[in-house]
């Protein structure tokens, strides 16, 4: 009888012991990580919800706290000083930071296409991007769409000097476009662009959209970053985080309806239609241009393009491409969905 009990205990215990041996992170208190977003919660952030709510972080013994952000520049700063272990930022902002000597680098990309987009009023005679010549374009001096507008014009064969820039506060450009006081503005897809669709429909305004990537603008969009100190001292921790995160992103791409439902349950105060639209726009930036190795991987030539156009547009100090990113911590994960 005793022998039978012992055998039963061995059968029950051995798998657990083997699992703990193969997964040394398990069997101890979870490692706590802070993941800082680039801004307040919006559509594309929904791709991080499955890893949090389906237990993918728990599977690799992580306790991840996702916090809202206050802009890409601030997200990079928080990663540098340790207020965030990993942060989400647009890659153009990282180029600016690296040119200033900030030792933070990309450890994975989320948006394989840039979110930059021109939104213009068709009823003001704008049907093609070329029609921007002679028209007004509103935005703040620090607006990434404004900063990259000369590059877009160069790629599209448009005379940037013929566009009349109207410098306004970032919050003021919304009503200026909708009231017709400017002809066009710049906005990011999967974020602020969604609200224009609803406002335009409500006011019966016919808007036209010109995504920068359709004109050869090959810069990457939102990316995950960490300090060089964090990368050097805790690479295995980051590997676990990235494996769980991109497992979640892949799940979200394969299960969009379930993910949006999960997102709206997680952030009930947010408008469901806005989350849905932003999530769909995010998919259109994540899926195309994905690296052959899967989600998160960065291509050196595209990083170089991002560095070159940012330095030229903002007259920055040179930045070495190799100092911008690493693929060494990434898993090889792809969604099942091909679209």
Instruction: Examine the pLDDT at 197 and tell me if it is beyond 90.
Output: no
* Residues 57, 75: Cα–Cα separation, whole Å: 21
- Compute the Cα dihedral for 80, 69, 200, 142 and give only its sign: negative
Specify the pLDDT at position 61.
98
Tell me how far apart the alpha carbons of residues 257 and 260 are, in angstroms, rounded to a whole number.
5
Architecture of domain 116-215: 3-Layer(aba) Sandwich (3.40)
Which two tokens mark 266? 């997680």
Asked if the model's pLDDT at residue 305 lies above 80, the reply is yes
Count H helices and E strands in the chain, helices first: 14, 10
The model's confidence at residue 337, banded by pLDDT at 50, 70 and 90, is confident
Q: Which residues, at least 6 apart from 166, have a Cβ–Cβ distance to it below 8 Å?
A: 136, 137, 138, 139, 176, 182
Q: Provide the sign of the torsion angle of the four alpha carbons 194, 195, 198, 203, taken in this order.
A: negative
Helix (H, G, I), strand (E, B) or coil at 169: coil
Q: Which two tokens stand for residue 183?
A: 């002809």
Q: In whole angstroms, give the CA distance from residue 320 to residue 300.
A: 11
Which tokens hold the place of 138?
């509103």
The average pLDDT across 35-40 equals: 94
**CATH 3.40.190.10 domain position(s) in the chain:** 23-113+220-323, 116-215
* pTM of the predicted structure, to 2 decimals: 0.86
**Mean pLDDT score, 184-203:** 78
Give the largest Cα separation in the chain, rounded. Answer: 92
Alpha-carbon distance of 256 to 278, in angstroms, equals 12
Which of helix, strand or coil describes residue 105? strand
pLDDT of residue 164: 97
CATH of domain 23-113+220-323: 3.40.190.10
Helix axes 272-286, 235-254, angle to 10 degrees: 110
pLDDT at 23: 53
Environment class of residue 202 by beta-carbon count within 10 Å: exposed (0-12), middle (13-18) or buried (19+)?
exposed
Average pLDDT, the chain: 89
Given a cut of 90, is residue 271 above it in pLDDT? no
Question: Mean per-residue pLDDT for 44-52?
Answer: 96
Task: Give yes or no for residue 199 having a pLDDT over 60.
Answer: yes
For 118-133, write each residue's pLDDT tens digit.
Answer: 999 999 999 999 999 9
Band of pLDDT at residue 275, cut at 50, 70 and 90: confident
Q: DSSP letter string over 231-242?
A: HHH-HHHHHHHH
């Amino acid at each position: 009888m005793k022998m039978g009990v012992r055998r039963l205990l061995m059968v029950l215990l051995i798998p657990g012991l083997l699992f703990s041996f193969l997964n040394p992170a398990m069997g101890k208190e979870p490692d706590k990580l802070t993941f800082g977003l680039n801004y307040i919660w919006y559509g594309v952030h929904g791709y991080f919800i499955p890893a949090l709510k389906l237990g993918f972080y728990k599977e690799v013994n992580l306790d991840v706290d996702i916090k809202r952000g206050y802009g890409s520049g601030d997200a990079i700063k928080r990663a540098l000083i340790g207020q965030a272990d990993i942060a989400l930022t647009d890659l153009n902002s990282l180029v600016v930071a690296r040119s200033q000597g900030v030792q933070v680098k990309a450890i994975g990309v989320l948006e394989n296409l840039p979110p930059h987009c021109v939104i213009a009023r068709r009823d003001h005679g704008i049907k093609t991007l070329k029609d921007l010549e002679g028209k007004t374009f509103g935005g703040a001096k620090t607006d990434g769409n404004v900063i990259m507008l000369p590059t877009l014009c160069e790629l599209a064969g448009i005379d940037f000097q013929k566009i009349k820039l109207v410098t306004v506060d970032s919050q003021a450009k919304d009503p200026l476009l909708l009231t017709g006081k400017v002809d066009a503005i710049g906005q990011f897809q999967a974020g602020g662009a969604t609200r224009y669709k609803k406002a335009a429909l409500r006011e019966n305004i016919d808007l036209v959209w010109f995504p920068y990537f359709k004109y050869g603008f090959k810069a990457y969009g939102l990316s995950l970053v960490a300090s060089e100190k964090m990368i050097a001292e805790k690479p295995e921790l980051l590997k676990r985080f990235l494996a769980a995160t991109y497992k979640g992103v892949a799940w979200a791409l394969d299960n969009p309806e379930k993910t949006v439902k999960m997102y709206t349950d997680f952030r009930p105060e947010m408008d469901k239609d806005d989350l849905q639209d932003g999530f769909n726009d995010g998919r259109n930036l994540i899926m195309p241009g994905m690296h052959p190795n899967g989600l998160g991987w960065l291509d050196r030539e595209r990083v170089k393009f991002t560095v070159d156009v940012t330095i030229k547009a903002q007259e920055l100090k040179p930045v070495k491409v190799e100092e911008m990113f690493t693929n060494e911590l990434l898993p090889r994960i792809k969604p099942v969905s091909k679209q």
